[in-house]
Structure 1
Amino acid sequence: MINVPGGPVTLNDRRTQRSWTVEVAPYLLAAHPLTQAAHALTTGTQAGGRLPAHSLSWWDAVGYCNTLSLQEGLTPAYHLHDATDDGDDAPDGGITWDRNADGYRLPTEAEWEHACRAGTSGPRYGPLDDIAWHRDNSEEHIHEVATRRPNPWGLYDMLGNIWEWCWDLYDPEVYGSYRVLKGGGWYDPHWSCRTSVRRRSHPTLRIEDVGLRLARTPRPQP
């Protein structure tokens, strides 16, 4: 896990032409997307070494976070209520996040974008072919994590390879329980692999270019 410093980040939505600034507190973020080997170690359901774990729904992702937290003696970040395997279209998604918990969780959209930018101001933190697997260089398949150049904070694959689930609802008034995806994937064109690009999907979606990256809230200092 990488210690990510706090700071302001400005998010943009191309669809609504809206911008908003969020002040992010310090947090921990995994250096690369969750791998299939790590997923298998926790759940026994998927293998494949250092390839990113994929075809995981948002519900799969939050469930994995809680499972891993319990295995490591941490306080689970999520409280699941009346959600079912088919999903819950209520705006809250049938789940709450305990922001004081020290267990694993998904990053917020603001945390994700703040970490991806890593103090840079352009659409990407480096030349795309150097930092990301995308449609023009991936040969149309997923690649092992951390085989492209990291950003200035030591985070790999923030762009390309797989899209990553975030905690946030995309636009609950219009799309209900749809959640935010960030980062672009191995089949996406170059314009889709930019820090500011945001995608949405139903939290039950399972597809081969969507995975997750673990975050944690640091324990308060005594």
Structure 2
Amino acid sequence: MIEIPPGRILLHDEGTKTGWTVEVGAFRLAPYPVTRELYHAVRDEASPDPARPRTPVTDVSWKDAVLFCNLLSRAEGLTPCYSAGDDPDGQDVTFDRGADGYRLPSEAEWEYACRAGTHGVRYGELDEIAWHRGNSGGVVHDVATRAPNAWGLHDMIGNVWEWCWDLYDPGVYGPYRVFRGGGAHDLPRGCRASCRRKSHPTLRIDDLGFRVARSP
């Protein structure tokens, strides 16, 4: 886990043409997305694709990611951050902000960490930092095979989109959750630090994964 210093970030929504500033406290973030190898080991199950252990796990829903965070926390003797019931929309998932376990980053934490003190469209030249439609060959690649940002975080742009904790806009989209970062199938427009996407928390697709965070 990489220590991320406190700061602030200005978020933008292109659809509504609005922006808002968020104060971000210090936290820890994994240097790359959760891999297939780690995901299936923590779940104590055989990997359906054992030949690709270092690629980011995909086809995982937001609810799957929350469950994984709790399983990993328990495996390491930490207090799980989440509790949940049976709501198919995930609306009953609660977040214990005082817990020391693993969790999803907030949207503000994600973009703040992605930018790593930069203010441009992305933190480096696209082909150097990301697997995207122009260089991926249409497949997701092993983690940490592109250049990291200034804080040592790989694959924040490209390779796979990453689930965040936040609801996108509950007044309009109900339970839809945010994901960030662009993926291996995306054009450059999708591979930007500020690009926001959303979907139902049960969505599973082949270029959507997640990385874990912890509070200090």
User: Which amino acid in the other structure matches residue 26 of structure 2?
Assistant: P
Match of 2:37 in 1: 37
Question: For residues 40 and 140 of structure 1, what CA distance do their matches in structure 2 show?
Answer: 24
Name stretches of at least 5 consecutive residues in structure 2 with no aligned partner: none
The alignment-based identity, stated in percent, is 57
Name stretches of at least 5 consecutive residues in structure 1 with no aligned partner: none
User: Which amino acid in the other structure matches residue 62 of structure 2?
Assistant: W
Match of 2:56 in 1: 52
Q: Does 1:65 align with 2:66?
A: no
Where 2:39 maps in the other structure, the secondary structure is helix
Where 1:59 maps in the other structure, the secondary structure is helix
Match of 2:84 in 1: 80
Preserved contact between residue 89 and residue 202 of structure 2 (Cα < 8 Å): no
For residue 102 of structure 1, the aligned residue among 93, 100, 105 is: 100
Q: CA deviation at 1:94?
A: 1.0
TM-score by length of 2: 0.96
Q: Does 1:121 align with 2:119?
A: yes
Match of 1:212 in 2: 210
Preserved contact between residue 89 and residue 200 of structure 2 (Cα < 8 Å): no
Number of equivalenced pairs: 212
Question: For residues 89 and 132 of structure 2, what CA distance do their matches in structure 1 show?
Answer: 32
Match of 1:173 in 2: 171
Deviations 1:146-195 (A, max 9, x none): 00000000000000000000000000000000000000000000111000
Where 2:33 maps in the other structure, the secondary structure is coil
Preserved contact between residue 160 and residue 184 of structure 1 (Cα < 8 Å): yes
Deviations 1:125-157 (A, max 9, x none): 000000000000000011000000000000000
Match of 1:159 in 2: 157
Query: After the TM superposition, which parts of structure 1 deviate over 4 Å for at least 4 consecutive aligned residues?
Result: none
Preserved contact between residue 181 and residue 199 of structure 1 (Cα < 8 Å): yes
Deviations 1:63-119 (A, max 9, x none): 000011011100000011342xxx227xxx111100010100000000000000000
